[in-house]
Amino acid sequence: MFDWLKHKKDIQLPVGMVDLHNHVLPGVDDGPKTIDSSLEMLRDFAASGYSTVSVSCHMMHHRFPNVSSELIRNTVEQVQTRLKEEGIAIQLLPGCEIFFDDRFLIEWEAGTLLPVGGDGPYYLIEFSLRDPMLRMKELVFELSVKGIRPILAHPERYDVLLRKPELIHAWKEAGWIMQLDLCSLLPDGVRDVRKLAQRYIHEHVFDIAATDLHGPTGRVREMATALARETNEDELKRLLVTNPQRILEGHYVIQIDQD
């Protein structure tokens, strides 16, 4: 445990936290290789106060060509069975993190993309970190007219926003839902990414926060606590409980006016 947490032993995390971005399924993408490692990760979620984990396996054809909605759903069922056998109180749901390219709408219309939680209008989308992201306002309009509510994964990590942080406000106003990677706040991470994440928290840019966990680090509670250090109890609950649950239920997220 890092020294910076010693003064925050009294932090109370909200009950029933929900994680919508993680890579906990075994042998699917760049997450854990074995079911035992997957269960270790999910024990960490449960021990930290999470009740629901919606997986977000990479749908990235150039890196993981064999990942499919069917594979994700089947693996979720297998892991959920083991969770019950092991007495780990986590509801596991299907989902994916979609690498955006010109195949997105073709595959969406074919029904091969998984929404967050396996059903509903929300889709978790990522871009190359070096993508100039020139058409974000136009793109969200094109998606929204088809009933898609896109969630932008980890905006604090994109090069264009590290250079021009103010761009995000127009994207958010246009309709993008913003997801913070909690790991971006850890003190051993990239300093510039951490600073931008902190700035965006204070500007109320983010709508949800999630771990983006890829392996059994034992740091789930530490990640949530890092967010608690940056904000108040109401905002913590909005980012970790209320809005993630609203997304799973297909409702619009609760937003706060940006400062």
DSSP for 105-129?
HHHHHHT-SPPGGGSSSEEEEE--T
Q: Which pLDDT tens digit goes with each residue over 195-214?
A: 999 999 999 999 999 999 99
Phi and psi, residue 213, nearest 5°: -70, 135
Rounded average pLDDT over 182-204: 98
Task: Give dist(CA 194, CA 115) in Å, integer.
Answer: 28
User: Quick check: helix, strand or coil at residue 46?
Assistant: helix
Rounded average pLDDT over 94-111: 96
pLDDT value at residue 4: 40
Residue 11's pLDDT band (boundaries 50, 70, 90)?
confident
Count of domains for the chain: 1
- pLDDT(156) > 90: yes
Q: What is the mean pLDDT of the chain?
A: 95
Given a contact cutoff of 8 angstroms between Cβ atoms, the answer to whether 218 and 224 are in contact is no
Task: Give dist(CA 208, CA 139) in Å, integer.
Answer: 21
Instruction: Identify whether 2 is part of a domain.
Output: no
Instruction: Identify whether 156 is part of a domain.
Output: yes
Residue 257's pLDDT band (boundaries 50, 70, 90)?
confident
Supply 181's token pair. Answer: 């990677």
Instruction: Identify whether 207 is part of a domain.
Output: yes
Instruction: Identify whether 40 is part of a domain.
Output: yes
Q: Which residues pair with 152 in a beta bridge?
A: 125, 178
Q: Which pLDDT tens digit goes with each residue over 31-46?
A: 999 999 999 999 999 9
Residue 9's pLDDT band (boundaries 50, 70, 90)?
low
pLDDT value at residue 39: 98
- pLDDT(6) > 90: no
Given a contact cutoff of 8 angstroms between Cβ atoms, the answer to whether 178 and 153 are in contact is no
pLDDT value at residue 258: 62
- pLDDT(219) > 50: yes
- pLDDT(5) > 50: no
CATH code for the domain of 104: 3.20.20.140
Q: Which pLDDT tens digit goes with each residue over 119-130?
A: 999 999 999 999
Give the count of beta carbons closer than 10 Å to the beta carbon of residue 28.
23
User: Quick check: helix, strand or coil at residue 28?
Assistant: coil
Instruction: Identify whether 220 is part of a domain.
Output: yes
Residue type, 95: G
191-to-22, 33, 196, 230 alpha-carbon distances in Å: 22, 29, 9, 15
Residues 6+ apart with CB under 8 A from 101: 61
Q: Which pLDDT tens digit goes with each residue over 60-100?
A: 999 999 999 999 999 999 999 999 999 999 999 999 999 99
Helices (H), 87-219: 104-110, 136-144, 159-163, 167-174, 191-202
Given a contact cutoff of 8 angstroms between Cβ atoms, the answer to whether 255 and 206 are in contact is no
For residue 124, what are the domain limits?
A: 16-248
Supply 134's token pair. Answer: 């020139």
User: Quick check: helix, strand or coil at residue 145?
Assistant: coil
Instruction: Identify whether 10 is part of a domain.
Output: no
Supply 127's token pair. Answer: 């871009």
Task: Give dist(CA 29, CA 226) in Å, integer.
Answer: 27
Instruction: Identify whether 11 is part of a domain.
Output: no
User: Quick check: helix, strand or coil at residue 19?
Assistant: strand
Rounded average pLDDT over 214-238: 98
Task: Give dist(CA 79, CA 35) in Å, integer.
Answer: 7
Instruction: Identify whether 1 is part of a domain.
Output: no
Chain centroid, CA 92 distance in Å:
14
